[in-house]
Amino acid sequence: MPTSDQTFGEPFFDKLILHLDGTHGGPMNMAVDQAWLEQSATPVLRIYTWDQPTVTMGYAQSLPKLQDSLPGWPVVRRWTGGGVVLHNEDYTYSVIVPCTDPWAETPAVESYRRIHGALAQALAESGYPGSRLAEPEDVIEAPFCFVAPAVHDVILGPVKVAGAGQRRGKLGLLHQGSVQQVQIAPDFWAQWAAKLAREVLIIETTPEPIMTRATDLTKRRYSLPQWLAERDDLL
């Protein structure tokens, strides 16, 4: 299992699938991540966009408590924790680690630090040399993710530019993140993926079994009003 004294630039996966996915609605975006976690035997870095401005809220958050402060955008509940994220002109990614990969056993704080450390390094090499991990003194408590840096989020000066929520369980690790307030070139994701893994396989088409399962998850979980309100679904 990786240790905390490894440098950020040392790849911690042997092989990684870089899935340059397309544009979907909020429920489908959440469902594709879960489908990958259920089915892939190889870690995945998935990059995707939204078909319209969308709000995602963390698994444990209360919609009634947040409702009055949200914009009038579609809202979807994530399977991961964390705060409210406004997805409009951001870059959205997920790191999916199956339970069969030893790295899925990495403690939560350390996995967050390592993933974001590699991201900060990639940003620093891509025109944002001030990118760094947030320290305890940078932390702000607030329900909206991008006005509230947490320890090991990526910040640029006083501005938070990357944060994420995680879920870990018997299926493995799901890390869903957003990068905001920077401009990223199309080749950035391959450069970052090379910091995460020694071998990177790039795909653009979602495998049929993943899409089939994601379509089912969209109907039976992520598009349901009861999932948004109370975390209830038909699964």
Q: Which residues of 44-78 are buried (b: 16+ CB within 10 A; e: fewer)?
A: bbbbbebeeebbbbbeebeeeebeeeeeeebbbbb
* φ, ψ at 85 (rounded to 5°): -125, 130
* φ, ψ at 46 (rounded to 5°): -105, 130
Cα dist from 210 to 4, 117, 213, whole Å:
33, 29, 5
Token readout for 22 is: 């397309």
Distance CA 61, CA 8 (A): 31
The verdict on whether 145 is a catalytic residue reads: yes
Distance CA 160, CA 218 (A): 30
Point out the catalytic residue in the list 31, 32, 84, 145.
145
Catalytic residue numbers, as ranges:
145
